[in-house]
């Protein structure tokens, strides 16, 4: 019997029940098999009584989900899939009162027009129980997804491992989840309650409570896809985390995150924190206190000591009077910290101070040649807005028994793949003996001043600057070794004979000088070079004085930046040739 004939028979019987009232107490209908929309419905059994109540059961075999989906207005296009299962149903007159189904799904494929949601070879089990209540339905159900791949932008989930159980109500306007449990394999469980407006599928309210989530899997499966293009897009994590969250009218209104025995490290080796414990509660409408502790870590290869940090969160703002972060044998102190997230952009300002750090420890940590002395800094005000970081006032450093001051610092898009930095740097009274000994340049004694103006770096590589290095004013010993003469000469251009080795000068280990100076104006990848004064065929880099005296010339005025870097590399390899006058 066809599906249409069965339905017509059932409705005729329902309509004619009063005529049979005196003679018939109950009607049983049995149908062996019905073909409907590419599906096979078997063993249909329906019972009707004289009060208009009816109930029945049926088996579904090899249901074609693609064909069946065309009969309904769905937000997704189902292109293939099959279902098998059992269903029971009951009602009164022409109204369905209950529908309970247990379905096995396999090889389901779906997508939407935008390509933001798709599934392939999806398989699992679906149980649903609907009971009419007033003008709506009470429901309970369970979904166990155990096969296939699903992309639900920005998340990609493979191999199943997701299950859901819940109950709630359904009306023409709202879908309500009174209580549900969502389990993600390897991550953990979350308890949910929610209300969804059916007209536009907006989540009006959501309460989520997840305890003891596995941080490593939670990051890789749930968090990384959201943070892919940020500073937090390539992390490694370990530990446990508790998360509570509330949404109202589709927007986050509160959350509470706790971390226990938590480790996090950037795979690009920019930072790491170990043994983290934290409690970060947040509410859109009232202030909360956030606290964080870690036993250690590193920032840009610099070791960090045990730290306790605290701040007040108030809506989309953060304030803290002082944050102290131990670094090496000193500390970075941030004061009057104020940050706000407005219209999708972070804006913040603070003042910073760096207590003296051992230059020996610092240079070892960042992989630089060993330096001596201390480094300290102070920044009156740092401001960040719309991807642009600026430092008001000067940053001061004490290094090589002299001073370095950085002014007009501007850093654009520091978290992007192409940051851009601008600054002016002033160096005064640096000890040449400490400086040249550090970089194995050859021995020199004296003092050095330097100015680097209009400096611009793109992707941390120089693209523009006006640099000038010269002897500091004052009376002090001024000596330069043969090795230093060779290396300085190589910076001005190779090709001259090693005159020291061909004359009486070879008997002297060091020479006197009056002035040293070298400048470079970098534009468009070319360095325009000069020295302390003009020469007949070049410029003077080292001006000799006394006996024995030596003057070093440079010949190449225009040198590509890449070639100049190569010359510096050759110097460190000992391949320098002096130009002697």
pLDDT, one tens digit per residue, over 491-513 is 655 433 344 444 444 556 778 89
Parallel/antiparallel/unpaired status of strands 510-523 and 538-544: antiparallel
pLDDT of residue 508: 60
Backbone angles phi, psi at 439, to 5 degrees: -100, 15
CA dihedral defined by 216, 219, 224, 227, rounded to 10 degrees?
A: -120
DSSP string for 477-508: --EEEHHHHHHHHHHT-S----GGGGSGGGG-
Give the domain ranges of the chain: 441-572
Inform me whether the pLDDT recorded for 308 exceeds 90: yes
Inform me whether the pLDDT recorded for 49 exceeds 50: yes
Stated pTM of the model: 0.71
pLDDT of residue 489: 72
pLDDT of residue 19: 47
Q: Provide CB contacts within 8 A for 191, sequence distance 6+.
A: 179, 180, 181, 208, 209, 210
The pLDDT > 70 percentage for the chain reads 87
What is the band of 2 on the pLDDT scale with cuts at 50, 70, 90? very low
Q: Provide CB contacts within 8 A for 367, sequence distance 6+.
A: 301
Of residues 365 and 165, the one with the higher pLDDT is 165
Of residues 292 and 400, the one with the higher pLDDT is 292
Mean pLDDT along residues 289-315: 93
Please provide the average confidence, as pLDDT, over all residues in the chain.
84
Inform me whether the pLDDT recorded for 251 exceeds 90: no
pLDDT, one tens digit per residue, over 471-481 is 999 999 998 88
Q: Provide CB contacts within 8 A for 460, sequence distance 6+.
A: 419, 421
Strand ranges in 249-372 using DSSP code E only, listed in sequence order: 251-266, 271-283, 288-294, 296-299, 302-304, 307-313, 317-327, 330-342, 345-358
pLDDT, one tens digit per residue, over 520-546 is 999 999 999 999 988 877 888 888 887
Of residues 379 and 273, the one with the higher pLDDT is 273
Rounded Cα distance, 118 and 293, in Å: 41
Estimate the crossing angle of helix 482-491 against helix 561-572, to 10 degrees. 160
pLDDT, one tens digit per residue, over 93-150 is 778 899 999 999 999 999 988 888 999 999 999 999 999 988 889 999 999 999 999 9
Alpha carbon 391 to chain centroid distance? 25
């Amino acid at each position: 019997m066809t599906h249409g004939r069965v339905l017509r028979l059932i409705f005729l019987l329902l309509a004619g029940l009063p005529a049979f009232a005196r003679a018939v107490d109950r009607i049983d209908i049995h149908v062996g098999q019905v073909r409907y929309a590419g599906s096979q419905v078997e063993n249909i059994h329906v019972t009707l009584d004289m009060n208009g109540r009816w109930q029945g059961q049926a088996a579904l075999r090899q249901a074609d989900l693609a064909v069946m989906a065309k009969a309904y207005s769905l937000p997704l296009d189902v292109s293939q899939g099959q279902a098998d299962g059992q269903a029971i149903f009951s009602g009164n007159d022409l109204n369905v009162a209950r529908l309970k189904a247990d379905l096995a799904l396999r090889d389901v494929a779906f997508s939407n027009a935008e390509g933001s949601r798709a599934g392939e070879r999806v398989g699992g089990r679906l149980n649903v129980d609907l009971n009419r209540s007033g003008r709506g339905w009470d429901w309970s159900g369970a979904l166990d997804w155990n096969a296939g791949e699903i992309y639900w932008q920005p998340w990609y989930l493979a191999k199943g491992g997701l299950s859901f159980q819940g109950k709630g109500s359904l009306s023409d306007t709202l879908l309500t989840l009174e209580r549900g449990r969502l389990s993600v394999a390897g991550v953990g469980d979350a308890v949910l309650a929610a209300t969804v407006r059916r007209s536009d599928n907006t989540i009006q309210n959501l309460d989520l409570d997840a305890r003891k989530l596995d941080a490593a899997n939670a990051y890789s499966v749930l968090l990384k896809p959201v943070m892919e293009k940020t500073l937090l897009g390539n992390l490694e994590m370990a530990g446990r985390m508790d998360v509570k969250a509330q949404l109202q009218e589709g927007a986050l209104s509160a959350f509470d995150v706790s971390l226990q025995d938590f480790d996090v490290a950037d795979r690009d080796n920019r930072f790491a924190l170990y043994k983290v414990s934290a409690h970060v509660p947040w509410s859109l409408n009232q202030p909360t206190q956030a606290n964080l502790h870690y036993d250690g870590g590193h920032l840009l290869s610099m070791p960090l000591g045990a730290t306790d940090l605290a701040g007040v969160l108030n809506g989309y703002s953060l304030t803290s009077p002082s944050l102290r972060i131990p670094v090496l044998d000193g500390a970075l102190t941030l004061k009057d910290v104020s940050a706000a997230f407005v219209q999708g952009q972070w804006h913040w300002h603070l003042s910073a101070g760096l207590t003296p750090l051992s230059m020996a420890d610092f240079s070892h940590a960042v992989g630089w040649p060993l330096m001596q002395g201390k480094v300290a800094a102070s920044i009156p005000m740092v401001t960040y807005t719309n991807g642009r970081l600026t430092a008001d006032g000067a940053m001061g450093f004490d290094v090589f028994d002299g001073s370095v001051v950085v002014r007009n610092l501007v850093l654009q898009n520091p978290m992007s793949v192409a940051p851009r930095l601008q600054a002016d740097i002033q160096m005064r009274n640096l000890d040449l003996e400490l400086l040249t000994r550090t970089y194995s340049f050859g021995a020199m004694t004296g003092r050095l001043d330097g100015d680097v103006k209009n400096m611009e770096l793109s992707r941390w590589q120089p693209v523009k600057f006006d640099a000038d290095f010269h002897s500091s004013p004052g009376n002090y010993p001024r000596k330069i070794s043969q090795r230093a003469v060779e290396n300085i000469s190589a910076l001005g251009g190779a090709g001259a004979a090693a005159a020291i080795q061909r004359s009486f000068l070879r008997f002297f280990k060091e020479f006197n000088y009056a002035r040293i100076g070298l400048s470079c104006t970098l534009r468009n990848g070319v360095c325009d070079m000069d020295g302390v004064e003009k020469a007949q065929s070049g410029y003077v880099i080292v001006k000799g004085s006394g006996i024995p005296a030596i003057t070093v010339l440079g010949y190449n005025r225009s040198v590509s930046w890449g070639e100049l870097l190569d010359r510096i590399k050759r110097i460190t390899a000992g391949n320098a040739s002096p130009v002697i006058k």
